[in-house]
Every structure is written in C-alpha cells, then in structure tokens.
Amino acid sequence: MRVEYAIIYSILSIILTVCTVSAMRMRQTKAMGGTVAFFVCALLFPVLGNLIIISTSNKYVAEVGYYIYFLGMDVMIFSLLRLTFHYCRITWHNKPLKYAVYLLFCLDAVQYALNPYLRQAFDTEPLIVENETYYKLLPYLGQLYHRILCYGVFVVIVGIYLVKTIKAVRIYKERYYVIFFSLLAGGIWESFYIFSGTPIDRSIISFVVCGILVYYFCLYYRPMRLLDSMLANMTSELPEALYFFDTNGFCIWANKPGIRLAGISDEDYSLAESKLLKLFADLDFSKNEWSENKTLKIGKETRYYVLEKHAIPYSDKKDAGSFLSIRDNTEEQKTLQKEMYNATHDGLTNLYTKDYFLKKTEELLRSDDEKHYVAVYANVSNFKLINDIFGTGFGDYCLKVIAEKIRETAPEGCTYGRMVGDTFGMCIPADCFDDAELETALGHFKVNDGKLEHTVLIHMGVYFIPDKNIDVSVMFDRARMAVNTIKNDYQIFVAYYDDAMRNQVLWDQNISSHLGEAITEKQIIPYLQPIVDTDGKPVGAEALVRWIHPQLGFLSPAKFVPVFERNGMIAEVDKYMWRCACEILAKWKEEGLNLFVSINISPKDFYFMDVVSVIISYADKYNIDRSRLRIEITESVMMDDNRYRMRIMNDFREAGFIVEIDDFGSGYSSLNMLKDMPVDIIKIDMGFLNRSQVNDRAQKILHNIINMNSDLGIVSLTEGVETDEQYRMLLDMGCRLFQGYHFAKPMPVAEFEDWVKN
Ligand code: C2E
Ligand code: CA
Ligand code: CA
C-alpha cells in the first residue's frame, strides 16, 4: 500500500509541478496566471507532506512530513481564498478583517514552530498496518485550532461558490458549480480522513483534482455555451434579419428579426429558406457570395431590402457554412429618392430642372433612332414686368400655372422642364408637333389667382432637330435664338430656327475666336473720317474701326461690332481704338496739327470697365490735350440708367473732355432729357431723316433740333452729309459741324493726314 500511494502522490506532485510551471508562464497573458500558479504550487506541499508521511517508518521524518502537510495546508487554504476572491471578483471591503485572517494563519504557523518544544499541537504514535509502521497523528489543542481555522475559511470559500452558483445566470453557473462540487467532495473526504484516523490522507487526491479543475477553469476554459448565447442575444438585438446555414445549406439558426421576417417559429429554422423564397422570388441559396436589392409590397407600402449572403470561412479551403443578412433600407431609399427628386425637380413648378431635363431629353432622343423630334424653347414675354408690377408672389403663381399648362399640352412621349427663370424647354416627337395647337394652348392665356388677373404671353422658339448627335444644350440654344427674334411682337408666338441664324452663330464664333490675334497683328486699325466746319475746313475726325482680315478681306464694323457687343468683346476693341486715337493725337501734337479725334463708346463698355478712368489713363499716358479727345456716346445709353450715365458724362466734361451725343434722333431720345444732359455737341444722323430726299417734314424737324440746340448752347454736328445741297441747307439752318461722304469717306490715318495737308 505504501508503494502504491507513494507512486500516486509522486504522480500528483509531478502534475502539480507541471501545472504550476505552465501557470507561471501564463502570468503575462492571463489575468489569473499568477494567482493560479500560487494555488497549484501551494497544493504541492500537502501532497509532498503526505508522500513523506506514508513513505517513512521513522518518527522524525514522519513528523517533518506532518509539518510540511499542515503548513502547506495553511498556505493552500490561504491561496485558495485569494484565488476565490479573484475568480469571483470579490474585493476585501473590510481591511481589518482581512488582516485578522492573515494574522490567524500566521499564528497557526507560529504554534507549529513551537510544537517540537511544547507539543501543544500534535504528537505521533506508531501504527502497524499490514506489517508496515506508519506514524499516526495524535491531535491536541493546537491542531484543533488549525482545523477550525482551515475549515472555517474553507467553509466560507465553499459558501462563496455556492452563492455564486445560485445567483449566476443559468449559462454562467457552470463556471462556479464545478469548482463548488469538487471543493465540497474534497472537504467531505478530508473530514472522513480526520475522523477515520487512517494514516494515509486519500482526500488529498480530491484536492489535487480540484486544483487541476481550477487551473483549467481559470486559464483554459472558454465558456462556449456562454459565448453562443451571448452572440445569439446580441445578434437578435441587431436590426438586420440573420440566417445561418450549415454546409448542406440548411438553415440552422436565425435571429429574432430573421424569425419575424420569415414568419417561422423559434424552432423551425429549416423552414426559413422556403419562406424567404416565397417572400423574395429568385434567390439562389445554393451560392454563397451574393448580394441583391429587393422590394416587398406590404399593403400599400413598398419596402426596400438589401440581401447579402456570405460564406463563413473555417479553414483555408473549407467553409463552416454561410449566412444571409437582410437589411430593411426603406428609410434610406426614401430619403435618397427624395433627394434625387429635389435635385432633379424644380422646387416651384415641380418640372425637371434644366440639367435633368437635358439629360432626360438626351435619353429620349437616343431611345429611338427612327423618330424625329422638335426642340421648343418657351419664354414668358415681359416676365420681369409681371414681377415688378404684380409682385414676385404673383410671378411665381404664373410660373406654376404655365408649368401646369405645359403638362397638359405636352403630347405623349415628350420631355419638358424649366430651363431658368421664366423659360421652359420641351422636346416633342415631330409627328405630334403642331405649331397652331401649341400656339393656342400656350401662346396667351389668362392667369387669375383670385385677386389679380393678367394675360401671359409666351413666345416659343422651335428647332427641328436634324441630327441627334448635336449636343442637346445646343439644340435648345438654337430654339432660344429663334425665340429671341420675336422679342416685342404681340402677334407672333412661334418662331423657327433657320440657317441664317445658324450662320450668324458660326460667324460670331469664327470672328470672336480671332479677335485677340487681330488686335496684336494690327489687322484691326482705325480709319479717320474728316469733320469740317462751316467753311468746309477740316477741324477733326472720327475714329472708326476697320478689320483688314487676312482671309475675308476688308470688314466694315457692321460685320463685327454688333457681334462683339453681344458677347462683350467690344470692350477690347474699344480700348484698343481709344489708345490708337491718343497715339494719333500725340503724334499730331508734335507735328503741330491742331485737330481733334472723336472716339466711339459702346453702351456695353460700361458693363466691363470704369470707362472714364480708363480713358483718362490713356490720355495721361500719351500726354495729350484732353479737349482734343471727343467722346461719342449714343443716345440709347441714356435709356438704361440715365442718372448714372449723366454722371459719367459729367465726369468726362469735368475731366476736360468734350462729350457728344451720337446718332441723335435714332432712338428714344426725349427732348425733355436734353435740357439736363451735360453735353457739348449733338450729332444728328441725316440717315434717319431719309438721306436721299429730305422732305418738308424732315426739314422742319432738323431745323427745330438745330435751333433748340443753339438755344441750349449745344453745338450741332450733322453726319451723313452726302450732297452739296444738303450741306447748304444745313448751313442755312445754323449747323456748325459736318461729316459725310460729301467731304470724304473714312480713310487710313496716313491718307487722312495727306488729305488735310492738301
Ligand atoms: P457711327 O458712330 O454713327 O459712325 C458713322 C458711320 O456713318 C460710319 O460707318 C461712317 O462710315 C458712316 N458714314 C459717314 N458719312 C456717311 C455718309 O455720308 N453716308 C453714309 N451712308 N454713311 C456715312 P462705319 O464706319 O461703318 O461705322 C458704323 C458704326 O459702327 C458706327 O456708327 C459705330 O456705331 C460703330 N463703330 C465704328 N467704329 C467703332 C468703334 O471703334 N467702336 C465702337 N464701339 N463702335 C464703332
Ligand atoms: Ca460715332
Ligand atoms: Ca453716328
């Protein structure tokens, strides 16, 4: 028996040593590594003690074994207490109690130290079993103290595990009850040993088993069931419906939203696949990696879902199964649709926005190669006036009504949208297009908002699309060009884009792209047309622009000035001409030629620069006498913003320039305005009074203008004088300055200088 138990205890010692070393190694990686190592190591001493006790027939050696056993027991119980606190996450709140417990263990150690002298704890006596001598324990008072201490603490420990086992959630119980039962078994077995009086403490085996369990539970045990249910609960909290499939493709689990969506009960996961197939047709459950967007009609409502299936990898080559997630993204879809709608629809009229309309039109044109289409550009006539007179509220109301009209009028297979402001676009299949119908429906109609009523006129430009490859925006540009030809005509509502317009556009593009080089290469040059006095003697000249084009030859300003006035490039031409005029004056100043030069200012120039300061800067740069530079401003300039323009004229005069009103009588000049106009000279164009035969009425008007001018102290200059007869008549009327073919045509500068000298 001695040998068997010696072997058993030796094996247990080895196991404990291995556990201790391994737990020590895990100190860095596991939170409980150190605590467990301490406990398992402490267990080693009672085992060694017992190994010594049963192996020897010598009283002293046996007693050493008993000391190791009992002291080891103290350390073991102490370390078990520490471990229990750590394992169950208990902290000592009562510090004095903690130190009292430590002190009790110290006292026990001290009394064992005194036992060889006092024999108050235990003694031993020989016992013969099967012819072998063992030393049996004779416990005294000190031993009783030891047992009460160890049992007391042990009972507390077992109690802690019991309470934990009871209190823990079901899945957590396992963590505690295994240790609880093994401790209980060890305790009972130990008690049995104490009362049986046998020399061999077999209960130590159960403590070792308990130690191994603790070692395993603290360091290796991963509560899979716990993890399972944690994950299950967690995934059930997710908004997505989740379904897990095994390698055979059977659904083995679904979370709560999944159960709800498929309409299955908690346990019939296997039905999930067929139920889902009924809900969302065409799902391929045999494949693992896919994602699809699906919709479901639930009552009146449409709901949107994103379905994704993925494999769950197990090893490099094998999968553990797959899962399907179904996410309801209805809200996202709805906001997306709303955003899309807002981005593509005009807030006021709910028609397509310009960009989206052009895009939709392009799609329409591409959809059918055979079909021909018409682009219509509709413009509300005088919309600015409607806003000004009736207020923007009524203006907006008009636009809504117009949009409604367009919706009603638009034939099938047609696109329409709001371009900008008061303009709309439509693309209509040519075979449905009827201009008379369009005119009746949209040309003019009454808008009444209950308080105000106004007849809205809509002008429409029509472009028959000859080639669908033309940029869609160009098509509507052309339709718009057609509408622009209507302007203020109250009879015509529909106009067509034609080749003349197209050629005009091409011409505009062509010459505009060459303006820069034309200026630098001096293709653009000033011509001078003499201005003479009552004696027919030249007193100055008007600078008129000419373009000697390398390919197109001589270009009169009528060919390009209006083009550049439309696109604003006129400012470049004029600045260049003003510089040339200053250059000429500077040269004449040196040569002692006492003549002036008149320069033209386009109404558009005012939009692009501070005309007065630009001209002053040129005059200063060339150091010319400012009164020799005359400024010609057309009377139409005065119409736009006359107070501002008056100020400009004033600024010119105050700076020392002479200001002329050009083309007087051609536009809207009101005689009333004349009295406040800060001008020196009025230039009357004979052309407007019928150049060839100046009739009676015209003569009277001319005469009156000239008279009035002289009353106001303004000098009259007549241009377009072609005959001697006209010249004499104007002389009689009191006109002081003259310009016209009768004296000379505009000519290059050098030629002009020769002309003056002769
Ligand atoms: P405008 O300022 O009224 O210039 C007078 C125009 O009448 C010139 O035409 C001139 O050649 C023409 N003319 C002069 N005498 C007679 C005549 O006896 N009979 C007829 N039938 N015509 C006569 P041009 O040079 O072709 O200029 C046309 C218009 O182009 C100018 O009218 C002016 O508005 C504009 N223009 C010319 N040069 C410039 C310039 O440098 N800048 C700007 N902004 N406009 C210019
Ligand atoms: Ca002029
Ligand atoms: Ca003129």
Domain ranges of the chain: 2-221, 225-334, 345-497, 513-757
When mean pLDDT is compared across 73-77, 182-186, 222-226, the lowest value belongs to 222-226
Contacts by residues 228-234 (CB-CB < 8 Å, ≥ 24 positions apart): 229/171
Q: Which atom of ligand 1 is nearest to the CA of 545?
A: 38
Cα(556)–Cα(163) distance, integer angstroms: 110
542 alpha carbon to ligand 2 midpoint, in Å?
Answer: 7
The closest residue, in CA terms, to atom 37 on ligand 1 is 544
Mean pLDDT of 164-177: 82
Task: Give the Å distances, CA to CA, from 681 to 570, 645, 714.
Answer: 24, 16, 5
Confidence grade of residue 639 (pLDDT, cut at 50, 70, 90): low
Mean pLDDT of 594-611: 94
Cα(479)–Cα(468) distance, integer angstroms: 15
> Of all residues in the chain, what percent carry a pLDDT higher than 90?
56
- Give the tokens for residue 91: 């902290």
As a CATH number, domain 2-221 is 1.20.1070
- Is this prediction's pTM over 0.85? no
pLDDT of residue 304: 93
Task: Give the Å distances, CA to CA, from 132 to 50, 202, 253, 664.
Answer: 16, 18, 65, 149
Cα(321)–Cα(230) distance, integer angstroms: 20
* In contact, 51 and 246? CB cutoff 8 Å: no
User: Residue 665: pLDDT above 70?
Assistant: yes
682 alpha carbon to ligand 3 midpoint, in Å?
Answer: 10
Cα(502)–Cα(508) distance, integer angstroms: 10
572 alpha carbon to ligand 2 midpoint, in Å?
Answer: 17
- Compare 618 and 703 and report the one with higher pLDDT: 618
Task: Give the Å distances, CA to CA, from 255 to 260, 313, 424.
Answer: 9, 20, 54
When mean pLDDT is compared across 182-186, 532-536, 551-555, the lowest value belongs to 182-186
Cα(574)–Cα(732) distance, integer angstroms: 36
- Which helix H or strand E contains 159, and what residues bound it? helix 141-167
Confidence grade of residue 549 (pLDDT, cut at 50, 70, 90): very high
The closest residue, in CA terms, to atom 34 on ligand 1 is 600
Torsion angle (degrees, nearest 10) of CA 504, 506, 511, 517: 170
* In contact, 485 and 495? CB cutoff 8 Å: yes
Counting ligand 1 atoms within 8 A of each CB, the residue from 561, 599, 602 with the most, and so the one to mutate, is 561
738 alpha carbon to ligand 2 midpoint, in Å?
Answer: 13
When mean pLDDT is compared across 153-167, 222-236, 520-534, 671-685, the lowest value belongs to 222-236
pLDDT of residue 489: 67
Ligand nearest the Cα of residue 611 is 1
pLDDT of residue 228: 76
As a CATH number, domain 225-334 is 3.30.450.20
Q: Which atom of ligand 1 is nearest to the CA of 526?
A: 41
Q: Which atom of ligand 1 is nearest to the CA of 663?
A: 3
Counting ligand 1 atoms within 8 A of each CB, the residue from 528, 529, 544 with the most, and so the one to mutate, is 544
Q: Which atom of ligand 1 is nearest to the CA of 577?
A: 41
751 alpha carbon to ligand 1 midpoint, in Å?
Answer: 18
Interval 554-588: pLDDT, tens: 999 999 999 999 889 999 999 999 999 999 999 99
Residue-averaged pLDDT of the chain: 89
The closest residue, in CA terms, to atom 44 on ligand 1 is 602
* In contact, 203 and 31? CB cutoff 8 Å: no
| Residues 503, 508, 510, 511, CA torsion sign | positive
Mean pLDDT of 329-339: 92
| Rounded (10°) angle between helices 59-87 and 203-219 | 30
- Which helix H or strand E contains 555, and what residues bound it? strand 553-555
pLDDT of residue 547: 97
Confidence grade of residue 225 (pLDDT, cut at 50, 70, 90): low
Ligand nearest the Cα of residue 545 is 1
Mean pLDDT of 654-673: 80
Query: What type of residue sits at position 615?
Result: I
The closest residue, in CA terms, to atom 20 on ligand 1 is 720
User: Residue 758: pLDDT above 70?
Assistant: yes
685 alpha carbon to ligand 3 midpoint, in Å?
Answer: 6
Confidence grade of residue 219 (pLDDT, cut at 50, 70, 90): confident
513-757: CATH, from 3.40.50.300, 3.40.50.2300, 3.60.15.10, 3.20.20.450: 3.20.20.450
Ligand nearest the Cα of residue 723 is 1
Return residues with CB closer than 5 A to ligand 2 (ion). Answer: 600, 632, 662
User: Residue 238: pLDDT above 90?
Assistant: no
Query: What type of residue sits at position 549?
Result: H
Q: Which atom of ligand 1 is nearest to the CA of 742?
A: 18
pLDDT of residue 666: 67
| Residues 402, 422, 451, 442, CA torsion sign | negative
Alpha helices in 622-682 (DSSP H): 636-640, 642-655, 671-674
The CATH homologous superfamily for domain 345-497 is Reverse transcriptase/Diguanylate cyclase domain (3.30.70.270)
Cα(596)–Cα(231) distance, integer angstroms: 98
Q: Which of 629, 633, 630, 608 is nearest to 620 (CA)?
A: 629
**Where does ligand 1 bind, in terms of residues with CB under 6 Å?**
529, 544-545, 556-558, 561, 570, 574, 577, 600, 602, 662-663, 719-722, 739-741, 746
143 alpha carbon to ligand 2 midpoint, in Å?
Answer: 133
When mean pLDDT is compared across 15-24, 347-356, 504-513, 521-530, the lowest value belongs to 504-513
Mean pLDDT of 280-299: 87
DSSP labels, 409-424: HPPSS-EEEE-STTEE
pLDDT of residue 488: 67
Q: Which atom of ligand 1 is nearest to the CA of 746?
A: 11
Mean pLDDT of 225-238: 78
When mean pLDDT is compared across 88-102, 145-159, 658-672, the lowest value belongs to 658-672
User: Residue 479: pLDDT above 70?
Assistant: yes
User: Residue 117: pLDDT above 80?
Assistant: yes
User: Residue 671: pLDDT above 70?
Assistant: no
The closest residue, in CA terms, to atom 23 on ligand 1 is 720
pLDDT of residue 31: 81
270 alpha carbon to ligand 3 midpoint, in Å?
Answer: 95
666 alpha carbon to ligand 3 midpoint, in Å?
Answer: 9
Ligand nearest the Cα of residue 721 is 1
User: Residue 642: pLDDT above 90?
Assistant: no
Cα 707 → chain centroid: 70
Cα(559)–Cα(530) distance, integer angstroms: 23
737 alpha carbon to ligand 1 midpoint, in Å?
Answer: 16
**Block residue for tokens 């005119």:** 439
* In contact, 660 and 681? CB cutoff 8 Å: yes
Task: Give the Å distances, CA to CA, from 292 to 260, 301, 306, 700.
Answer: 20, 20, 6, 88
549 alpha carbon to ligand 1 midpoint, in Å?
Answer: 18
User: Residue 630: pLDDT above 70?
Assistant: yes
User: Residue 318: pLDDT above 90?
Assistant: no
pLDDT of residue 461: 93
Domains 345-497 and 513-757 share a fold: no
Greatest mean pLDDT among 190-194, 482-486, 654-658, 725-729: 654-658
User: Residue 401: pLDDT above 90?
Assistant: yes
User: Residue 669: pLDDT above 70?
Assistant: no
Query: What radius of gyration do the chain's Cα atoms show?
Result: 55
The closest residue, in CA terms, to atom 4 on ligand 1 is 544
Cα(23)–Cα(26) distance, integer angstroms: 5
Residues shown for the chain: 758
- Give the tokens for residue 503: 């050629």
